[in-house]
Chains A and B, each alone.
Chain A
Amino acid sequence: MSLLGWFTRLRERRTAELADELQMHLDMAQADRIARGESPRDAAANARREFGNVGLVQEVARDEWNGAGLAAERLGQDLRFAVRMLRRAPGFAALGVVTIAIGIGASTAMFSVVQATLIRPLPYPHPEQLVRIEDDLGGIGARDVGMSTPEWHDLQRSGIFTAISPTWFDNNNLTGLSHPQRVGLQIVAPNYFALLGVKPQLGAGFDPADPTPGFNAQAIISDALWKSSFGADPRILGRVVQLDSDSYRIVGVMPRGFQAPARVGEERRTEVWPAFGFAGAPLSEASVISRSSLFPGAIARMAPGLTIADAQRRVDALVQLLRRAYPADYPARSDWRVRLVPLKDIVVGDVRQPLVFLLGAVGLVLLVGCANVANLLLARATTRGREMAVRQALGGAPSRLMRQLLTESIVLSVLGGIAGIALVIAAKGTLVRLIPDTVPRVNDITIDWGVLAFAFLASLVAGAMFGLAPVLHVRGLDVTRVLKLEGRGSTSSRDQQRTRRLLVIGEVALSLVLLSTAGLLVRSFWGLLQVPLGFNPQHVTVVRTRLPYPNEPKEDLYPTPGAEEPFVRDVMRRLRALPGVDDVALGSGAAVPLDHPYQDQTLLRVRIEGDVSHGDQPLLLTGSEVTPEYFRLLGMSLVHGRPFDDFDTGDKPLVAVINEGMARRYWPHDDALGKRVKVSRVATDWTTIVGIVADARTDSLAGVSAPHIYTSLYQQEGKHLAIFLHGTFEIGAIEHAVREQVQAVNSALPVFGAERLSDVVSESLVMRRFSMMLIAVFALTALFLAALGVYGVISCMVSERTHEIGLRLALGADGSDVMRMVMRQGVRLAIAGAAIGLIGAVLVSHAMSSVLVGVSPSDPVTFVLATVLLTVVALAGCYLPARRAIRVDPMVALSS
């Protein structure tokens, strides 16, 4: 506005100066004439005659001034006029601004999330060169099975990549500080940070070319750990810390906000990175030269100029070569392949679909809002029809009037946009907290220029969109007809009424799409909450601890199940004595239903005795180690055989319990009891299946359980331990009590992550709940706007037909007839809208069928309910104007 003001002031000054100058000209001419002997009166008249029309001269002279100032002046006029018009109708203006503010605010908020997660490139130099390398064994249906050291070396020598670093996420126990602490640890090659192109904020970091085959005893820590556990000590470099009893020297602190680019939130929040050569101790000689997978995967930077498709082609060729060179390691049956995935897809992969879906939904809300404001503007255009007609009759060019109206709409939308942005900025903190932490890069969400540009553009487009309707109406304005309708306020044409009806029908249709989508999501979510879990999370609390896994075998206090057993029994005995605790079980991390910390979800290689269908290839199955109390404590029912008992210890024959899913899959026609399998962690002995538990939703509430094999914690050691406690107690107190008891057995163990199992269950639905809530809020907003739209159209119709209604009443129609007549109009709108909306809703619901669980995408109940709800709300929107209609006084209506 200030630029415009400057233009205006400049122009005003120049106009005044020009007027002075012309006056001076006149004065001088007059003075000359007097000097020549004319009388003052004649002189003045003659001078003026000679001069001509002062105003015209001024105007013609002004026309020479440059065009920008002129356009700015016209714009200034339009803006001032627009603001004045809006001020004169504050209710209308407020409603319009609020509607747009909601639409723009919601869209901008959603866009800022999409911008931060999906659009903005990863914060590394040349992010397009970064990929993650995943190995698949298509033959046994396994994806991302991990990689071996020889494969890593082969890929590194291929020239396809400038650098490759394996990554191996784990937890570790950080000791030597005030209390033992569990930290997230990503074991990487020394070239990891150079590959990403990120330098530590403190220290030199690793030497990317460090040839040490094993651990070089150097570690880099995150900014968060530096601040929380080392008090941001500036002299931290060179300090030695204990991780799982091994010593590491800190050589760097990563900058604030640096996150490891990984799929799982926990790994992204890595706190310590030790450097490892992946070719030496503590790995055995055999595992280093073996071509069966060793570490979970690797990230890589492609050579400059290579597209991912080029690189994939060259990798495919290399894989073919390797398969021929090592047929024993890569049997054709297993169909080993190496797949390159853009690193960004890894980081954002899981949330892309829901976010894009939500952005689309919020766009629909904005559209409904626009339709609503267009409707409001049209209603106003109706009352301003006379003004427009008079202005046209007086010579206002239609183009100028149209520009004027468009300016009004855009002023409205920009005001709405500004209010929307202000809303987002004010509520940003709250909104960000609502976003589940499964969404990556939430910390990167900012209202930056890109987001502001989006909001501004969206409001301009919205303004132009809803401003178009009244503008087109001006063009079609029949001046004569309007001026002839003396005194009558309303001037809406048939055309215009049709436009308004179409807009409302559109609103209703869009609302129905949102409403039925929300309905399906709610039903699906509700269904998931009702699904039989197969275990009972009530009164169960999980607390975690972790046994160290030192690189130096001599340091390992718990190298065998036998060594671990006394620890487990001691902890259980102590915990059972705690007040409020009535049962205790221990298991590995993977035994916690619906919450598999990444590092625990290790796939076990299982061989089935006598099974030839898979040849030499072991099966990859999820498994966990548990104590005998586990099944009882979680209420998992045994369908066959027996659970573990206290005598299934290391010196007894190995036993396993499997789930029904596994029994069905591998022994479909046979009794699985008594069958024998080999689980990779045990070198040679056969494990006998002694029991089968009923299927439980331990992997996901949405799906039936995958095959799962349980072994006894007394026979197979687990390092990441979950302690299951059954009873009634306060969660903070119990974590403290468990820590005391566990550290009484071994003071170096961290105890962390206390959670109620029921919270774990609901936490597993967090992204679904988030989407469902948002869509529901969007749908209700759209519903409300649609009701407003119906209300607007119907009340306008009633006021236009007051005369007719009065006549009908005078001729003997009673109130209910009139009521019916008005309501019929509303119902017609609702039904037309619903019919179109249903088609859209079915299309949308089929597009999102993959996220629907336990409900068909064309679920009739949802669609019927949504339609009924919409119709009822639309009728409510009609009711008020209908009431007004039956109160029409025939005398007043007819005489007006």
Chain B
Amino acid sequence: MAPRHPPTSRIELLQGTLDLIVLQALRWGPCHGYGIVQLIRAQSNNVLQVETGSLYPALQRLLRQRVIATEWGRSDNNRRVRLYRLTPKGRARLTAERSRWQQLTEAIAALMVAPQPEES
């Protein structure tokens, strides 16, 4: 990459990760926005708290990319809510992203366990 281009920005990286996390959360079936937040928090043992200010733009972005779609459904207390679900294209993306994520984490893990120079 030419020096005048900034390195891959933090936000972009986070965005990509957030997209992956959202897709992963929808793997089990359609869910509304609030449910997605709860799911992610529960499945990450309360480590990941997704901000609504990031979630909803991410959902709009994913909708535009046609990897998720919306449908109308009922909430637990029987109110009409908007549900998000994975599209076939989204499923394919999730599979691809997941394997790439695994490669990345494995590579980083390998880096981390490699012999370290003496620390002064």
Contacts and interface: CB of A to CB of B under 8 A. Distances in A.
Nearest to A26: B34
Given A28-B75, A52-B51, A21 B60 contact: no
A33 to B, nearest CB: 12
Interface stretch (B5-13, B76-84, B90-98, B102-110): B76-84
B52 interface: yes
Contact of B34 (A29, A56, A65): A29
Contacts of A60: 53, 56-57
A28 B34 contact: yes
Contacts of A621: none
B6 to A, nearest CB: 21
Interface in B26-52: 32-34, 38, 51-52
Interface string A1-25: 0000000000000000110111011
B53 A64 contact: no
Contact of B82 (A21, A29, A58): A21
Interface string B57-89: 101110010000000000101010110000000
A526 interface: no
A60 B51 CA distance: 12
Contacts of B52: 22, 25, 51-52, 57
Contacts of B51: 52
Contacts of B53: 52-53, 56-57, 60
A17 B82 contact: yes
Contacts of A29: 34
B40 to A, nearest CB: 14
Given A57-B52, A60-B53, A25 B60 contact: no
Nearest to A63: B57
B63 to A, nearest CB: 8
A401 interface: no
A66 interface: yes
Nearest to A28: B34
A604 interface: no
Interface string A452-486: 00000000000000000000000000000000000
A61 interface: yes
Nearest to B58: A64
B44 to A, nearest CB: 17
Contacts of B59: 61
A774 interface: no
Nearest to B77: A31
B7 to A, nearest CB: 24
Nearest to B36: A25
B34 A18 contact: no
Contacts of B60: 61-62, 64-65
Nearest to A20: B82
Contacts of A62: 60
Classify the interface of chain B: helix, strand, loop or mixed. Answer: helix
A57 B34 contact: no
A384 to B, nearest CB: 38
Q: Which of B51, B60, B64, B75 has the most CB of A within 10 A?
A: B60
A22 B79 CA distance: 14
B57 A64 contact: yes
Interface in A29-88: 29, 31-32, 51-53, 56-58, 60-66
A18 B63 CA distance: 13
B64 A24 contact: no
Contacts of B57: 60-61, 63-64
Contacts of A20: 82
B87 to A, nearest CB: 17
Contact of B81 (A24, A56, A58): A24
Contacts of B75: 24, 28
Contacts of A51: 52
A190 to B, nearest CB: 67
Nearest to B62: A64
Contacts of B56: 18, 21-22, 57-58, 60-61
A62 B77 CA distance: 28
A56 B52 CA distance: 10
A661 B113 CA distance: 116
A7 B50 CA distance: 31
Contacts of A17: 82
A66 B32 CA distance: 22
16 contacts: A18-B56, A22-B52, A24-B32, A24-B33, A24-B81, A25-B33, A28-B34, A28-B75, A52-B51, A52-B52, A57-B52, A57-B56, A60-B53, A60-B57, A61-B60, A64-B61
Given A60-B53, A61-B56, 10 more contacts: A20-B82, A21-B56, A22-B33, A24-B82, A28-B75, A57-B52, A58-B56, A63-B57, A65-B60, A66-B64
Interface of B: 32-34, 38, 51-53, 56-57, 59-61, 64, 75, 77, 79, 81-82
Question: Considering the complex of A and B, which 9 residue pairs feature the smallest CB-CB distances, nearest first?
Answer: A64-B60, A61-B56, A28-B34, A25-B34, A61-B57, A64-B61, A57-B53, A60-B57, A64-B57
